[in-house]
Amino acid sequence: MGVLRFSTAYKKPLQDQSRYLILVGGGGAGKSHFAARKIVYRLITEPQEHRYLCVRKVAATLRYSVVPLIKEVLAEAGILYIHNKTDRTITFTVNGRTQTILFVGLDDPEKLKSIERITSIWIEEATEITEDDFNQLDLRLRGKTETYKQIILTLNPVLTRARWIYERFERKQDPRATVLHYNVYDNPFIDAEYRSTLESLQDDTYRKIYLHGEWAEVKGLVFQDNFRIIPAEQYPQEPDETVYGLDFGYNNPTALVRIDIKDQDIFLHEILYERHLTNSDLIRKMQELQIPYDATIYADAAEPDRIRELQDAGWDVRPADKNVREGLALLLDRRIYSKPENTNLNKEFESYKWKEKDGQTLDEPVKMNDHAVDAVRYGVYTHLKKQGGVTIWRL
Protein backbone atom coordinates (compact mmCIF):
# COMPACT_ATOMS: atom_id res chain seq x y z
CA MET A 1 0.00 0.00 0.00
CA GLY A 2 1.24 3.49 -0.84
CA VAL A 3 1.57 6.51 1.43
CA LEU A 4 -0.90 9.40 1.64
CA ARG A 5 0.65 12.85 1.82
CA PHE A 6 -0.90 15.57 3.99
CA SER A 7 0.17 19.17 4.40
CA THR A 8 1.12 19.84 8.03
CA ALA A 9 -1.40 22.72 7.96
CA TYR A 10 -4.17 20.14 7.70
CA LYS A 11 -3.18 18.07 10.76
CA LYS A 12 -6.04 19.51 12.85
CA PRO A 13 -8.90 18.73 10.41
CA LEU A 14 -7.45 15.26 9.80
CA GLN A 15 -7.93 14.49 13.50
CA ASP A 16 -11.17 16.47 13.88
CA GLN A 17 -14.30 14.45 14.67
CA SER A 18 -16.87 17.28 14.79
CA ARG A 19 -20.30 16.71 13.29
CA TYR A 20 -19.59 19.57 10.86
CA LEU A 21 -16.11 20.31 9.49
CA ILE A 22 -16.15 23.50 7.43
CA LEU A 23 -13.03 24.13 5.36
CA VAL A 24 -13.04 27.69 4.07
CA GLY A 25 -10.25 28.52 1.67
CA GLY A 26 -8.94 30.66 -1.10
CA GLY A 27 -7.72 29.51 -4.48
CA GLY A 28 -5.18 26.69 -4.45
CA ALA A 29 -5.49 26.21 -0.68
CA GLY A 30 -5.79 22.44 -1.09
CA LYS A 31 -9.04 22.04 0.83
CA SER A 32 -10.70 19.73 -1.73
CA HIS A 33 -7.56 17.62 -2.08
CA PHE A 34 -7.45 17.32 1.70
CA ALA A 35 -11.11 16.28 1.87
CA ALA A 36 -10.50 13.50 -0.66
CA ARG A 37 -7.46 12.35 1.30
CA LYS A 38 -9.28 12.35 4.63
CA ILE A 39 -12.06 10.24 3.12
CA VAL A 40 -9.64 7.62 1.81
CA TYR A 41 -7.60 7.73 5.04
CA ARG A 42 -10.70 7.02 7.10
CA LEU A 43 -11.80 4.19 4.82
CA ILE A 44 -8.46 2.37 5.01
CA THR A 45 -7.83 2.88 8.74
CA GLU A 46 -11.19 2.75 10.52
CA PRO A 47 -12.73 -0.56 11.69
CA GLN A 48 -16.03 -0.33 9.87
CA GLU A 49 -17.50 -0.60 6.38
CA HIS A 50 -18.19 2.93 5.21
CA ARG A 51 -20.74 4.29 2.79
CA TYR A 52 -19.29 7.74 2.25
CA LEU A 53 -21.48 10.15 0.27
CA CYS A 54 -19.89 12.84 -1.94
CA VAL A 55 -22.30 15.58 -3.04
CA ARG A 56 -22.51 18.58 -5.32
CA LYS A 57 -25.53 20.55 -6.41
CA VAL A 58 -25.48 19.03 -9.90
CA ALA A 59 -24.51 15.38 -10.43
CA ALA A 60 -22.77 15.97 -13.78
CA THR A 61 -20.13 18.19 -12.16
CA LEU A 62 -18.94 15.39 -9.87
CA ARG A 63 -17.23 13.48 -12.66
CA TYR A 64 -15.00 16.45 -13.46
CA SER A 65 -14.15 17.38 -9.88
CA VAL A 66 -14.72 15.00 -6.98
CA VAL A 67 -14.44 11.67 -8.81
CA PRO A 68 -10.98 12.39 -10.32
CA LEU A 69 -9.72 13.60 -6.93
CA ILE A 70 -10.83 10.41 -5.18
CA LYS A 71 -9.27 8.29 -7.93
CA GLU A 72 -6.02 10.22 -7.68
CA VAL A 73 -5.80 9.61 -3.92
CA LEU A 74 -6.66 5.91 -4.26
CA ALA A 75 -3.92 5.53 -6.87
CA GLU A 76 -1.50 7.34 -4.58
CA ALA A 77 -2.42 4.91 -1.78
CA GLY A 78 -1.92 1.94 -4.12
CA ILE A 79 -5.51 0.77 -3.76
CA LEU A 80 -7.27 -1.15 -6.51
CA TYR A 81 -10.89 -0.10 -6.92
CA ILE A 82 -13.98 -0.62 -9.03
CA HIS A 83 -15.67 2.44 -10.51
CA ASN A 84 -19.29 1.70 -11.40
CA LYS A 85 -20.29 4.65 -13.57
CA THR A 86 -23.93 3.51 -13.79
CA ASP A 87 -24.42 3.34 -10.03
CA ARG A 88 -21.97 6.22 -9.54
CA THR A 89 -19.95 4.40 -6.90
CA ILE A 90 -16.35 3.50 -6.20
CA THR A 91 -15.76 0.37 -4.14
CA PHE A 92 -12.65 -1.34 -2.84
CA THR A 93 -11.70 -3.91 -0.23
CA VAL A 94 -9.09 -3.30 2.45
CA ASN A 95 -8.41 -5.33 5.60
CA GLY A 96 -11.32 -7.59 4.71
CA ARG A 97 -13.84 -4.71 4.66
CA THR A 98 -15.66 -3.43 1.57
CA GLN A 99 -15.66 0.35 1.39
CA THR A 100 -18.07 2.34 -0.77
CA ILE A 101 -17.91 5.95 -1.95
CA LEU A 102 -21.11 7.25 -3.52
CA PHE A 103 -21.42 10.28 -5.83
CA VAL A 104 -24.81 11.99 -5.99
CA GLY A 105 -26.09 15.39 -7.14
CA LEU A 106 -28.85 17.25 -5.35
CA ASP A 107 -30.52 17.56 -8.75
CA ASP A 108 -31.31 13.83 -8.48
CA PRO A 109 -33.49 13.66 -5.33
CA GLU A 110 -34.84 10.18 -6.09
CA LYS A 111 -31.31 8.79 -6.25
CA LEU A 112 -30.49 10.49 -2.97
CA LYS A 113 -33.59 9.12 -1.24
CA SER A 114 -32.68 5.59 -2.28
CA ILE A 115 -29.29 5.66 -0.54
CA GLU A 116 -29.24 4.03 2.88
CA ARG A 117 -26.71 3.63 5.68
CA ILE A 118 -24.63 6.73 4.94
CA THR A 119 -21.70 7.00 7.35
CA SER A 120 -20.34 10.48 6.45
CA ILE A 121 -20.77 13.16 3.78
CA TRP A 122 -18.56 15.53 1.78
CA ILE A 123 -20.24 18.58 0.20
CA GLU A 124 -17.88 20.05 -2.41
CA GLU A 125 -18.45 23.64 -3.56
CA ALA A 126 -20.87 24.13 -0.68
CA THR A 127 -21.65 27.65 -1.90
CA GLU A 128 -23.80 25.97 -4.59
CA ILE A 129 -26.33 24.59 -2.11
CA THR A 130 -29.03 26.19 0.02
CA GLU A 131 -29.45 25.84 3.75
CA ASP A 132 -32.51 23.68 3.10
CA ASP A 133 -30.37 21.39 0.92
CA PHE A 134 -27.91 21.10 3.78
CA ASN A 135 -30.61 20.34 6.33
CA GLN A 136 -31.95 17.53 4.19
CA LEU A 137 -28.48 16.00 3.91
CA ASP A 138 -27.94 16.41 7.64
CA LEU A 139 -31.11 14.42 8.31
CA ARG A 140 -29.79 11.62 6.08
CA LEU A 141 -26.74 11.14 8.28
CA ARG A 142 -28.25 9.12 11.10
CA GLY A 143 -28.13 5.73 12.76
CA LYS A 144 -25.45 3.87 14.69
CA THR A 145 -21.93 3.72 13.28
CA GLU A 146 -18.73 2.28 14.71
CA THR A 147 -16.86 5.56 14.21
CA TYR A 148 -17.84 9.23 14.11
CA LYS A 149 -20.27 10.72 11.59
CA GLN A 150 -19.12 13.91 9.89
CA ILE A 151 -20.20 16.34 7.18
CA ILE A 152 -17.29 18.11 5.46
CA LEU A 153 -18.06 21.34 3.58
CA THR A 154 -15.43 22.83 1.26
CA LEU A 155 -15.93 26.32 -0.13
CA ASN A 156 -14.52 29.72 -1.04
CA PRO A 157 -15.38 32.49 1.46
CA VAL A 158 -17.73 34.44 -0.81
CA LEU A 159 -20.40 35.99 1.41
CA THR A 160 -22.57 36.78 -1.59
CA ARG A 161 -22.96 33.06 -2.30
CA ALA A 162 -22.60 31.48 1.15
CA ARG A 163 -24.02 33.88 3.70
CA TRP A 164 -26.01 31.16 5.44
CA ILE A 165 -22.82 29.13 6.04
CA TYR A 166 -21.05 32.13 7.54
CA GLU A 167 -24.01 33.06 9.74
CA ARG A 168 -24.74 29.53 10.94
CA PHE A 169 -21.28 28.13 11.53
CA GLU A 170 -18.85 31.00 11.95
CA ARG A 171 -20.63 34.08 13.26
CA LYS A 172 -22.88 32.11 15.65
CA GLN A 173 -20.19 29.45 16.28
CA ASP A 174 -22.22 26.24 16.26
CA PRO A 175 -20.70 24.09 19.07
CA ARG A 176 -20.86 20.99 16.84
CA ALA A 177 -18.85 22.66 14.09
CA THR A 178 -15.16 23.23 13.43
CA VAL A 179 -14.48 26.09 11.00
CA LEU A 180 -10.96 26.40 9.60
CA HIS A 181 -9.54 28.86 7.08
CA TYR A 182 -6.78 28.07 4.59
CA ASN A 183 -4.95 29.85 1.80
CA VAL A 184 -2.43 29.04 -0.92
CA TYR A 185 0.47 29.25 1.54
CA ASP A 186 -0.93 26.24 3.42
CA ASN A 187 -0.52 24.06 0.33
CA PRO A 188 3.10 23.04 -0.33
CA PHE A 189 2.00 21.06 -3.39
CA ILE A 190 0.63 24.03 -5.34
CA ASP A 191 2.51 25.07 -8.46
CA ALA A 192 4.44 28.32 -8.28
CA GLU A 193 2.74 29.75 -11.38
CA TYR A 194 -0.73 29.56 -9.86
CA ARG A 195 0.49 31.03 -6.57
CA SER A 196 2.03 33.89 -8.53
CA THR A 197 -1.31 34.42 -10.33
CA LEU A 198 -3.08 34.81 -6.99
CA GLU A 199 -0.40 37.10 -5.62
CA SER A 200 -0.69 39.34 -8.67
CA LEU A 201 -4.41 40.02 -8.08
CA GLN A 202 -4.98 43.75 -7.86
CA ASP A 203 -8.61 43.70 -6.76
CA ASP A 204 -9.01 44.21 -2.99
CA THR A 205 -11.99 41.87 -2.59
CA TYR A 206 -10.57 39.07 -4.69
CA ARG A 207 -7.25 39.26 -2.85
CA LYS A 208 -9.11 38.83 0.41
CA ILE A 209 -11.16 35.86 -0.84
CA TYR A 210 -8.84 33.99 -3.18
CA LEU A 211 -5.37 34.86 -1.87
CA HIS A 212 -5.97 35.11 1.87
CA GLY A 213 -9.02 32.85 2.26
CA GLU A 214 -11.04 35.43 4.21
CA TRP A 215 -14.76 36.16 4.03
CA ALA A 216 -15.71 39.10 1.82
CA GLU A 217 -18.76 40.51 0.11
CA VAL A 218 -18.41 40.68 -3.67
CA LYS A 219 -19.64 44.11 -4.75
CA GLY A 220 -19.68 45.81 -8.10
CA LEU A 221 -21.03 42.75 -9.90
CA VAL A 222 -21.04 43.19 -13.67
CA PHE A 223 -24.16 41.15 -14.41
CA GLN A 224 -26.21 41.89 -11.29
CA ASP A 225 -29.15 43.39 -13.23
CA ASN A 226 -29.48 41.29 -16.38
CA PHE A 227 -28.48 37.73 -15.44
CA ARG A 228 -31.08 35.28 -14.16
CA ILE A 229 -31.14 31.54 -13.45
CA ILE A 230 -34.37 29.90 -14.60
CA PRO A 231 -35.58 26.30 -14.97
CA ALA A 232 -34.47 24.63 -18.19
CA GLU A 233 -38.15 24.08 -19.03
CA GLN A 234 -38.51 27.84 -19.55
CA TYR A 235 -35.88 27.88 -22.30
CA PRO A 236 -37.26 28.43 -25.83
CA GLN A 237 -37.82 25.22 -27.74
CA GLU A 238 -36.92 26.83 -31.06
CA PRO A 239 -34.32 29.61 -30.73
CA ASP A 240 -33.82 32.04 -33.57
CA GLU A 241 -30.09 31.23 -33.72
CA THR A 242 -27.55 29.00 -32.00
CA VAL A 243 -23.80 29.56 -31.83
CA TYR A 244 -21.02 28.38 -29.53
CA GLY A 245 -18.31 30.22 -27.61
CA LEU A 246 -15.01 28.53 -26.75
CA ASP A 247 -12.31 29.72 -24.36
CA PHE A 248 -9.17 27.58 -24.44
CA GLY A 249 -7.36 26.58 -21.27
CA TYR A 250 -5.09 24.01 -19.72
CA ASN A 251 -4.15 24.98 -16.16
CA ASN A 252 -7.31 27.07 -16.37
CA PRO A 253 -10.52 25.40 -17.53
CA THR A 254 -11.44 25.06 -21.17
CA ALA A 255 -14.99 26.43 -21.41
CA LEU A 256 -17.41 25.57 -24.24
CA VAL A 257 -20.85 27.21 -24.08
CA ARG A 258 -23.83 26.80 -26.38
CA ILE A 259 -25.65 30.09 -26.87
CA ASP A 260 -29.28 30.18 -27.97
CA ILE A 261 -30.64 33.57 -29.09
CA LYS A 262 -34.38 34.23 -29.05
CA ASP A 263 -36.00 37.67 -29.50
CA GLN A 264 -32.76 39.43 -28.48
CA ASP A 265 -32.52 37.34 -25.27
CA ILE A 266 -29.61 34.98 -24.60
CA PHE A 267 -30.01 31.46 -23.18
CA LEU A 268 -26.89 29.60 -22.10
CA HIS A 269 -25.91 25.91 -21.95
CA GLU A 270 -22.66 24.93 -20.24
CA ILE A 271 -21.31 22.16 -22.46
CA LEU A 272 -17.76 21.73 -21.21
CA TYR A 273 -15.75 23.19 -18.34
CA GLU A 274 -12.62 21.20 -17.59
CA ARG A 275 -8.93 21.69 -16.80
CA HIS A 276 -5.89 19.95 -18.27
CA LEU A 277 -7.34 19.37 -21.73
CA THR A 278 -4.92 19.17 -24.62
CA ASN A 279 -6.34 19.86 -28.07
CA SER A 280 -6.53 16.10 -28.69
CA ASP A 281 -8.52 15.75 -25.47
CA LEU A 282 -10.77 18.62 -26.51
CA ILE A 283 -11.45 17.09 -29.94
CA ARG A 284 -12.32 13.75 -28.32
CA LYS A 285 -14.62 15.45 -25.82
CA MET A 286 -16.39 17.42 -28.53
CA GLN A 287 -16.90 14.23 -30.53
CA GLU A 288 -18.30 12.48 -27.45
CA LEU A 289 -20.60 15.44 -26.79
CA GLN A 290 -21.72 15.30 -30.44
CA ILE A 291 -21.06 18.96 -31.13
CA PRO A 292 -22.46 19.49 -34.65
CA TYR A 293 -19.76 19.94 -37.25
CA ASP A 294 -21.81 22.62 -38.98
CA ALA A 295 -22.27 24.68 -35.80
CA THR A 296 -20.58 28.08 -35.72
CA ILE A 297 -18.02 28.18 -32.91
CA TYR A 298 -16.24 31.40 -31.95
CA ALA A 299 -12.96 30.69 -30.15
CA ASP A 300 -10.14 32.63 -28.54
CA ALA A 301 -8.33 34.32 -31.42
CA ALA A 302 -5.06 34.26 -29.44
CA GLU A 303 -4.81 30.50 -30.10
CA PRO A 304 -4.68 30.23 -33.95
CA ASP A 305 -2.93 26.84 -33.91
CA ARG A 306 -5.62 25.32 -31.68
CA ILE A 307 -8.33 26.82 -33.88
CA ARG A 308 -6.68 25.32 -36.96
CA GLU A 309 -6.58 21.86 -35.36
CA LEU A 310 -10.28 22.02 -34.61
CA GLN A 311 -10.97 23.16 -38.16
CA ASP A 312 -8.92 20.23 -39.46
CA ALA A 313 -11.04 17.94 -37.28
CA GLY A 314 -14.11 19.17 -39.15
CA TRP A 315 -15.69 21.97 -37.08
CA ASP A 316 -16.54 25.47 -38.23
CA VAL A 317 -14.36 27.28 -35.66
CA ARG A 318 -13.71 30.98 -36.19
CA PRO A 319 -11.46 33.44 -34.34
CA ALA A 320 -13.48 35.64 -31.98
CA ASP A 321 -13.34 39.39 -31.60
CA LYS A 322 -11.92 39.76 -28.07
CA ASN A 323 -12.83 43.40 -27.49
CA VAL A 324 -13.69 43.27 -23.77
CA ARG A 325 -15.32 46.68 -23.36
CA GLU A 326 -17.55 46.45 -26.42
CA GLY A 327 -18.30 42.78 -25.80
CA LEU A 328 -19.42 43.46 -22.23
CA ALA A 329 -21.41 46.49 -23.34
CA LEU A 330 -23.35 44.28 -25.74
CA LEU A 331 -23.94 41.56 -23.11
CA LEU A 332 -25.15 44.15 -20.62
CA ASP A 333 -27.67 45.36 -23.19
CA ARG A 334 -29.32 41.90 -23.33
CA ARG A 335 -31.22 39.71 -20.91
CA ILE A 336 -29.11 36.64 -20.15
CA TYR A 337 -30.67 33.43 -18.85
CA SER A 338 -28.98 30.38 -17.44
CA LYS A 339 -30.24 27.12 -15.93
CA PRO A 340 -29.30 25.51 -12.58
CA GLU A 341 -27.32 22.78 -14.34
CA ASN A 342 -24.80 25.40 -15.56
CA THR A 343 -22.93 25.16 -12.26
CA ASN A 344 -19.54 26.57 -13.25
CA LEU A 345 -20.96 29.15 -15.62
CA ASN A 346 -23.40 30.39 -12.96
CA LYS A 347 -20.62 30.68 -10.40
CA GLU A 348 -18.65 32.86 -12.81
CA PHE A 349 -21.52 35.11 -13.85
CA GLU A 350 -22.64 35.62 -10.26
CA SER A 351 -19.16 36.67 -9.09
CA TYR A 352 -17.80 38.48 -12.18
CA LYS A 353 -17.04 41.97 -10.94
CA TRP A 354 -15.50 45.30 -11.71
CA LYS A 355 -12.03 45.94 -10.33
CA GLU A 356 -11.59 47.72 -7.03
CA LYS A 357 -8.51 49.66 -5.99
CA ASP A 358 -8.19 51.50 -2.70
CA GLY A 359 -11.93 51.22 -2.20
CA GLN A 360 -12.78 52.66 -5.62
CA THR A 361 -14.66 50.73 -8.33
CA LEU A 362 -12.95 50.85 -11.72
CA ASP A 363 -14.52 50.40 -15.18
CA GLU A 364 -12.53 47.24 -15.93
CA PRO A 365 -13.50 43.68 -14.91
CA VAL A 366 -11.31 41.48 -12.73
CA LYS A 367 -9.42 38.96 -14.86
CA MET A 368 -10.20 35.85 -12.79
CA ASN A 369 -12.80 33.07 -12.88
CA ASP A 370 -14.00 34.34 -16.24
CA HIS A 371 -13.57 31.43 -18.64
CA ALA A 372 -17.25 30.74 -19.31
CA VAL A 373 -17.93 34.49 -19.31
CA ASP A 374 -15.24 34.95 -21.97
CA ALA A 375 -16.67 32.08 -24.04
CA VAL A 376 -20.12 33.69 -23.97
CA ARG A 377 -18.70 37.10 -24.83
CA TYR A 378 -16.75 35.64 -27.77
CA GLY A 379 -19.85 33.97 -29.18
CA VAL A 380 -22.43 36.70 -28.66
CA TYR A 381 -20.36 39.75 -29.55
CA THR A 382 -18.53 38.31 -32.56
CA HIS A 383 -21.68 36.78 -34.04
CA LEU A 384 -23.97 39.78 -33.58
CA LYS A 385 -21.30 42.26 -34.62
CA LYS A 386 -20.69 40.18 -37.75
CA GLN A 387 -24.38 40.40 -38.63
CA GLY A 388 -24.34 44.17 -38.31
CA GLY A 389 -26.99 46.35 -36.80
CA VAL A 390 -25.55 46.06 -33.28
CA THR A 391 -25.69 49.14 -31.14
CA ILE A 392 -22.75 49.36 -28.72
CA TRP A 393 -23.48 51.33 -25.55
CA ARG A 394 -20.19 52.47 -24.10
CA LEU A 395 -19.52 51.50 -20.49
Tell me the pLDDT of the chain averaged across its residues.
92
Q: What percent of the chain has pLDDT over 90?
A: 76
Does 92 map to a domain?
Answer: yes
Residues 175 and 254 in one domain: no
**Predicted confidence (pLDDT) at residue 5 exceeds the cutoff of 90:** no
β-bridge mates for residue 180, sequence order? 23
Position 1 scores a pLDDT of: 65
Residues 13 and 41 in one domain: yes
Lowest mean pLDDT among 110-114, 221-225, 240-244, 342-346: 110-114
Q: For residues 227 and 335, what is the distance between their CA atoms, to the nearest angstrom?
A: 6
Does 122 map to a domain?
Answer: yes
Q: What is the mean pLDDT of residues 335-357?
A: 91
Q: For residues 392 and 395, what is the distance between their CA atoms, to the nearest angstrom?
A: 9
Residues 130 and 194 in one domain: yes
pTM (2 d.p.) = 0.84
Position 387 scores a pLDDT of: 67
Position 221 scores a pLDDT of: 92
Residues 143 and 288 in one domain: no
Structural domain ending residue among the three candidates 185, 211, 237: 211
Q: Residues 6 or more apart from 214 whose CB is under 8 A from it?
A: 26, 157, 181, 208
**Predicted confidence (pLDDT) at residue 341 exceeds the cutoff of 50:** yes
**Predicted confidence (pLDDT) at residue 136 exceeds the cutoff of 50:** yes
Does 216 map to a domain?
Answer: no
Does 36 map to a domain?
Answer: yes
Residues 243 and 133 in one domain: no
Position 192 scores a pLDDT of: 87
CA distances 156 to 90, 123, 162, Å, are 27, 13, 9
> Is the CB of residue 146 less than 8 Å from the CB of residue 97?
no
User: Going edge to edge, which strands form the sheet with 316-319?
Assistant: 227-229, 336-338, 265-274, 254-262, 241-247, 296-299, 316-319
**Predicted confidence (pLDDT) at residue 164 exceeds the cutoff of 70:** yes
Residues 263 and 184 in one domain: no
> Predicted confidence band at 389 (pLDDT cuts at 50, 70, 90)?
very low
Does 218 map to a domain?
Answer: no
Residues 248 and 191 in one domain: no
Residue 18: give its domain's CATH number: 3.40.50.300
Question: Can you give the residue range of the structural domain that contains 110?
Answer: 8-211
Number of domains in the chain: 2
Does 205 map to a domain?
Answer: yes
Residues 233 and 205 in one domain: no
**Predicted confidence (pLDDT) at residue 197 exceeds the cutoff of 90:** no
Residues 249 and 339 in one domain: yes
User: Going edge to edge, which strands form the sheet with 151-155?
Assistant: 82-84, 89-94, 97-105, 51-56, 120-123, 151-155, 20-25, 177-182
Does 124 map to a domain?
Answer: yes
Position 112 scores a pLDDT of: 84
Residues 252 and 195 in one domain: no
Residues 186 and 66 in one domain: yes
**Predicted confidence (pLDDT) at residue 133 exceeds the cutoff of 70:** yes
Query: Residues 11-58: pLDDT tens digits?
Result: 999 999 999 999 999 999 999 999 999 999 999 999 999 999 999 998
Query: Residues 240-271: pLDDT tens digits?
Result: 999 999 999 998 899 999 999 999 999 999 99
Q: Where are the beta strands (DSSP E) in the chain?
A: 20-25, 51-56, 82-84, 89-94, 97-105, 120-123, 151-155, 177-182, 227-229, 241-247, 254-262, 265-274, 296-299, 316-319, 336-338, 354-357, 360-365
Does 15 map to a domain?
Answer: yes
Position 394 scores a pLDDT of: 36
Residues 260 and 198 in one domain: no
Residue 236: give its domain's CATH number: 3.30.420.280
Q: What percent of the chain has pLDDT over 70?
A: 97
Position 194 scores a pLDDT of: 86
Position 251 scores a pLDDT of: 84
Position 391 scores a pLDDT of: 46
